[in-house]
Structure 1
Amino acid sequence: MHNYLLAICLLTSLTSLAQETERVVTTTGDPPVEEEYYILKGHLETKQGPYTKTTSYGTSTGQYENNVRAGVWEFYDSRGDLEQKIDFTKHEVVFSKPFKPLAKSWLLENGERKEYTSGTPPVVIGGMSAVARSITRTIRYPAKARKGGHMGDVTISATITKEGAMIDEKIETGPGHGLDEEALRVVQLIDEEWFPLTIDGEAKDARIFMIITFRLSL
């Protein structure tokens, strides 16, 4: 009987705690970014419950548990088409549209690149729309290259850490004339979080290669 009453009291306490949240709606930036989420009362920095983010390039929806992404999150582009689905609890990418600038990725162990035959390659959380937005917003065609009619592909490599950060960006190949440096600059400005290379459920460091294309209208 005592155990029964204890279980009821515990359930009641947990239910009350789950309800102790506040709804928050914010709009920031230009173009605007709107976020709607819930925080724990008394812990204003702790997100708890449903989360929605709406921007000019798409919408993301998911769930927070103690300020950590949990369960399946879905990311949609500006037309409302599903672009990506990630299960943060199982730590796996359920679905993601191909990221066209991403040419190749390698497993990185002790500073050495190794091929891998199974696993999930690194992806930008939110899908390619987020990266495309960052690139198109920041890229500038170098004046001298434009004047000289220079075009071509620039390959940039970078490390995606197992924590989801992009570091150590480098120029691999390019046509020169300032295009290489501009491609490196815009890649370094990508501030979106990455979902790392995952092999057998374990996050790994990876080396990726991205292609930035410069073309002039003739």
Structure 2
Amino acid sequence: MLKNYLLIIACLFAVAKAKGQQETSKKTNRLTDSVKEVYTVLKSNKYIKQGQYQAIYQGEIPVAVGAFNNDVKTGIWRFFDAAGRLMQTYNYDTHKVSYEAPETAASNLRYFADIDIDSTDVVTKPIKVGGRYYGYLPYLQLFTLPRDITDIDRFRYIATVELLISPLGRLAYYKVNITGADYQRTINMNVHLPNEEDMIFIPAKLNGEPVACRIIIRARITDRGHLDFPWKK
């Protein structure tokens, strides 16, 4: 008799678990001219991400891999660059970076802290959750060429994005500089980005104390008039 009761309880638990698993459907969305995201949403609400997520460069190289639970990023996410090199591992449950790839001379990012630093100081850069590729795509994609210069030769103009990160780890300003042979223009962008998480950084530190730091991002102008990282090498 006891075995029968245990069997019934196990069956009821399995049925309840099955009912708790909500049905999902697959969605795709273009983040940039080069990156497409693939994920699943609830069939009952297409705006709620649920399950596995990938952002894919040129249709073949994952640059972000993780999962959502009720539209909230959960567990361990891994972020890569356009060549498939691991840039960062981040745990959204513990809110900790477990791996950050070392900077190289080929990096498209540069950091400037307007403070005096000597050889004995210990300085750390600001860190964006999402790594040095996927994490910075929003600041590139939000830009659109002003109408009066939409006909410029994209290959002859240089674009840089400048972000100022406060000691509190907040985006303080966001600028785009467009430079040509006889042309220079700075466009001040709205720092109130669509997603709150894009305004938050782990701040730079000097001897353990948070300091302000500027991040300069080298970019290219796309055919659609947005920005993207230079083509991978």
Q: What TM-score, normalized by structure 2, do the two folds share?
A: 0.53
The answer to whether the aligner puts 1:64 opposite 2:65 as a matched pair is: no
Query: 2:35 is matched with which residue?
Result: 33
Query: 1:47 is matched with which residue?
Result: 49
8 A contact 2:164–2:171 mirrored in 1: no
Query: 1:129 is matched with which residue?
Result: 133
Provide the rounded CA distance (Å) in 2 between the counterparts of 1:104 and 1:11: 57
Query: 2:87 is matched with which residue?
Result: 83
Larger helix percent: 1
**Matched residue of 2:80: which SS?**
strand
Provide the rounded CA distance (Å) in 1 between the counterparts of 2:191 and 2:201: 17
Deviations 1:148-195 (A, max 9, x none): xxxxxx986333766xx523459xxxxxxx97x73x747969988265
Identity of aligned residues (%): 20
1:206 Cα deviation after fit:
6.8
Deviations 1:108-167 (A, max 9, x none): xxxxxxxxx89x9642233223448939x889xxxxxxxxxxxxxx986333766xx523
Provide the rounded CA distance (Å) in 2 between the counterparts of 1:32 and 1:53: 10
8 A contact 1:125–1:194 mirrored in 2: no
- Greater CA drift, 7-16 or 189-198: 189-198
Structure 1 residues 59 and 105: alpha-carbon distance in aligned structure 2, compared to 1, 3 A threshold: farther
Structure 1 residues 86 and 30: alpha-carbon distance in aligned structure 2, compared to 1, 3 A threshold: closer
8 A contact 1:160–1:206 mirrored in 2: yes
**Matched residue of 1:16: which SS?**
helix
Provide the rounded CA distance (Å) in 2 between the counterparts of 1:9 and 1:26: 36
8 A contact 1:155–1:209 mirrored in 2: yes
Provide the rounded CA distance (Å) in 2 between the counterparts of 1:58 and 1:189: 28
8 A contact 1:22–1:40 mirrored in 2: yes
Query: 1:149 is matched with which residue?
Result: none
The answer to whether the aligner puts 1:158 opposite 2:160 as a matched pair is: no
Structure 2, gaps ≥5 residues long: 116-121, 146-160, 176-182, 204-209, 219-233
Alpha-carbon RMSD = 4.8
Structure 1 residues 6 and 125: alpha-carbon distance in aligned structure 2, compared to 1, 3 A threshold: same
8 A contact 1:37–1:47 mirrored in 2: yes
Give the total of aligned pairs.
175
1:102 Cα deviation after fit:
2.7
**2:140 partner letter:** S
Partner residue of 2:110 out of 101, 104, 113: 101
Q: What TM-score, normalized by structure 1, do the two folds share?
A: 0.56
Query: 1:12 is matched with which residue?
Result: 15
